[in-house]
Amino acid sequence: MVVKLVVAVRKDLDMGKGKIAAQVAHAAVSCAIKAMKEKKKIFDEWMDEGQKKIVVKVPNVDEIYIIKKKADSMGIINEVIQDRGYTQVEPGTVTCIGLGPDYEVYLDDITGKYKLL
């Protein structure tokens, strides 16, 4: 089964592409390290398969927490990322959520309905 990591990014914030990339990278690193410790087998599969990653967009912060609630209930690793706020957004602003790495079939149940960023 395919293993992937998904990052869902808020599209209601005025972030440039470098800012978005840094936030998504933050989510991916945090999730990957958590998975390495808590879901070693899935983490190894993900690395062996080439670290598949998908970036999707969600309308607002409420959607981030809806995703988090669903991921928590399914036992899927997730990390909500808050920006330090040096530039572009206010300190503490939630910018994105990372999910997985985990089996694609489970992740698609949570984020399959969102469009790619």
- Contact footprint for its own copies (CB under 8 A): 5, 7, 9, 16-18, 20-30, 32-33, 36, 47, 50-51, 53-57, 84, 116-117
CB of 104 to its own copies, least distance (A): 14
Please give the structure tokens belonging to residue 23: 């936030």
Closest CA to 9 of 22, 28, 19, 24: 24
Give CA–CA dist 78/97, Å, rounded.
Answer: 7
Please give the structure tokens belonging to residue 26: 């933050």
Task: Decide whether 66 or 82 has the Cβ nearer to its own copies.
Answer: 82
Task: Decide whether 23 or 69 has the Cβ nearer to its own copies.
Answer: 23
Phi, psi of 52 (to 5 degrees): -60, 135
- Across the beta sheet with 78-82, the strand order is 53-58, 3-10, 94-103, 78-82
CB of 73 to its own copies, least distance (A): 25
CB of 22 to its own copies, least distance (A): 5
Task: Decide whether 49 or 62 has the Cβ nearer to its own copies.
Answer: 49
CB of 103 to its own copies, least distance (A): 18
